[in-house]
Structure formats: C-alpha cells, structure tokens
Amino acid sequence: MTSLNADRHDRLRLIRTPNIGPVAYRQLLARFGTAGRALEALPDLAARGGNRRFKPCDRHSVDAEIAQVERLCAHYLFLGEADYPALLGQAEGAPPVLIARGNAGLGVERCVAIVGARNASAAACRFARELAHALQEAGIVVVSGLARGIDTAAHQGAGIARTVAVIGSGIDVNFPPENADLQERVAREGLLLTELPPGAEPLARHFPARNRIIAWMSLGTVVVEAAPRSGSLLTARLAGEEGREVMAVPGFPADPRAHGCNALIRDGATLVQSAQDVVEAIASLDPRALRSGQRDFLSQPPSDDLGEAERQRVTGLLSLSPVAVDELIRQSGLAPANVQTALLELEIAGRLQRHAGGRVSLA
C-alpha cells in the first residue's frame, strides 16, 4: 500500500494528528524517541491535559494520503532527512514534513526569497524579474510564493529550473488559477513545496504558515514593493526573527506600495538596489550560526513525572493572552521540563495555542 517505511509512516501519522504542531512534534520525539512510541503515549498525555476522548490520526487516512501523494507524482520530505530544505530544518517551528514535486536538491542549495505585492507596479515586477535573474546567475536559488505580481516575476526571472515555489494549498490545488501553468512547470523543472496535504484549499489562514517556510528556507528575504501590514512584511519579519537577512527595495513615498519597504529599511533592513547588494548581504551570514538560542531551550525533552498540583499551577497562569514560556517558568517556580510537559499535555488535549516568539495562550 505505501512506500514509506514504518517510522516515516508513524511520523506522518503523528503530524497529521489534531493539535500536534511542530513544537509538540519535536518534544514528543525528544521524549519518546520514536514517533511510534509517541503515538502510543498520546491518549494518556491528552487525558492528563483534560481530554479523555483523544485519538491519534488513524492509519487508514494516512495510507490514503500517501497513495494520493504518489498518484500526484509528489513525495514527502521529512525534517531531519537529507533532502529536507537545509536552512528550514534549523528553525524550531519547521514543519515536520513537506510534500514536494520536482527537484528537492534545490532546497539544499543557497536560497534567497523574493516576495512582494500582488498588485505591484510594472516597474517593480520588471525589477524583481531582473533581480531574480542576476541572483540565479550568481548561483542562488530563488524562493517565492507563486502569487501574482512580484512572486510570479521572481519565479520567471530566476528561470523555472532554479526556483522554488512554496504554496498555501495542497500540491494538487492551483492557486491563483492564472498561475496553473507556472505551477505545473515549477513542479516539473524546479521545486514545488507545501506543508498541507493534497486537496487542501488556499485558505487565508494557510498563508502565514506558507510565508514562514519561504523565509526560513532562505538565507535572506528581499521585499519588492509591499504595502504596510502586507503578507510580504510578515515574511520579512519571520526571516528577521530567525536571524536571516532582511532586505528591501526602496520606493518613492508617493506610491503607498513603497511604504512597507521603506519602513523595513528604516527599521534596519538592508537597502537593496541590485543583486550585488543581496550577494554581499548574505555573504556575511554563516548558515551554521543561524540556529537561534531559543530553539535549544524549547527542544529540551519534557519530563515525565509531573504532579497534579504542578499541572494546576501552570494551567492557572494561562489565559487567552499569549505569554512567554520562560515567563511561565519564572512565575510558576517549576522546573522548565515540568512546565514544558504541562504545556504539551494541554496542547495535545486541544486546550493550548502556541504563538510566535515562544509564547502560549489558552486555545
């Protein structure tokens, strides 16, 4: 039925289980050693978190997904394996599994993201196309999101065989519709990636998660024309939080599409006028030094001996407002591993939500 070995099958089942996000996934593997043992332990953990009816994802739906992925000529990239995008794997919030079509080797090369407005000016699209072309000539793989405007220009400029498109839908769902041909070409000649299972619709809430893959698999992100509060600025912020280079192309302030990039530059982003500027900016980054300190802390294996009083103390400190995990540790007076365990149990039970910057709230 499936070409995945047993461990990969378990991993996929674990990540497709409700409430298991990237952080919980890593912590469960750290604590139980294998995905199979984690799956066995899940009902108990969920019960301690307050949910006695918890069930892991069943084997059959995972089998069905695997069969569909194979029919689509796609394949899985598992976190920790050699063909998983190299820099993405260094991020704490990296998706445990991706679905890919095309040349997975591109994700292991030096990548730079080019993102920007869907309604970008003709001049900006042309600039993005030329920038992508020059970066490709400098040996860099160009990553973008297959959206209209800047994204499309970036993919085209880089040349399809040297570009990675990360989408916010299933690998078999074309979005936007007018880019269906481009999506198919990227899948055949370049690399098409998604975190979502086949058939997933391009819902608005999928795109921030898509943006983090673009930002985190790249040494740096270049923003070309972006209005304030746009998704492109979110991508830039995610890049910066992960220690990647944030770059922006300035624009004349009379055009509101310039305000986002100009604000980034004012906040310290590298001003980019040419591919040379990008090459110089990322040259100073040492990929091995990109791991953030927080990640090591978060990946500590949670402890397995947690009393009910301690669990209550952590739960009592939580509310609907996100709070930093280290703040919870300080205020609870408990050992970090115990706090992590309480949070993991609550998360699996569906009572906890994780936020950017290592913060958590009640769900």
Binding residues for a second copy, per CB under 8 A?
123-124, 126-127, 249-254, 258-259, 262, 265-266, 271-274
Whole-angstrom CA distances from 157 to 114, 130, 134, 141, 175 are: 11, 6, 8, 11, 20
Q: Which is nearer to a second copy, 130 or 326 (CB)?
A: 130
In the complex, minimum distance from the CB of residue 277 to a second copy, in angstroms, rounded to a whole number: 9
Cβ-contact 245, 270 below 8 angstroms = yes
Nearest Cα neighbor of 96 from 182, 186, 164, 30 is 30
Cβ-contact 306, 45 below 8 angstroms = no
Q: Which is nearer to a second copy, 173 or 279 (CB)?
A: 279
Q: Which is nearer to a second copy, 24 or 269 (CB)?
A: 269
DSSP, res 88 = G
In the complex, minimum distance from the CB of residue 121 to a second copy, in angstroms, rounded to a whole number: 8
In the complex, minimum distance from the CB of residue 260 to a second copy, in angstroms, rounded to a whole number: 11
Nearest Cα neighbor of 216 from 107, 118, 137 is 107
Cα–Cα distance between 173 and 175 in angstroms, integer? 6
Cα–Cα distance between 363 and 356 in angstroms, integer? 14
Q: Which is nearer to a second copy, 123 or 203 (CB)?
A: 123
Cα–Cα distance between 228 and 262 in angstroms, integer? 10
CA atoms within 13 A on the CB side of 134: 14
In the complex, minimum distance from the CB of residue 158 to a second copy, in angstroms, rounded to a whole number: 18
Cα–Cα distance between 55 and 333 in angstroms, integer? 32
Which token pair is 70?
């194979």
In the complex, minimum distance from the CB of residue 249 to a second copy, in angstroms, rounded to a whole number: 6
Which token pair is 242?
């992960």
Q: Which is nearer to a second copy, 3 or 273 (CB)?
A: 273
In the complex, minimum distance from the CB of residue 66 to a second copy, in angstroms, rounded to a whole number: 47
Cα–Cα distance between 337 and 91 in angstroms, integer? 20
In the complex, minimum distance from the CB of residue 161 to a second copy, in angstroms, rounded to a whole number: 27
Q: Which is nearer to a second copy, 177 or 252 (CB)?
A: 252
Which token pair is 142?
């160009």
Q: Which is nearer to a second copy, 259 or 351 (CB)?
A: 259
Which helix (H) or strand (E) covers residue 102, if one does?
Answer: strand 97-102
Q: Which is nearer to a second copy, 235 or 262 (CB)?
A: 262
In the complex, minimum distance from the CB of residue 42 to a second copy, in angstroms, rounded to a whole number: 51
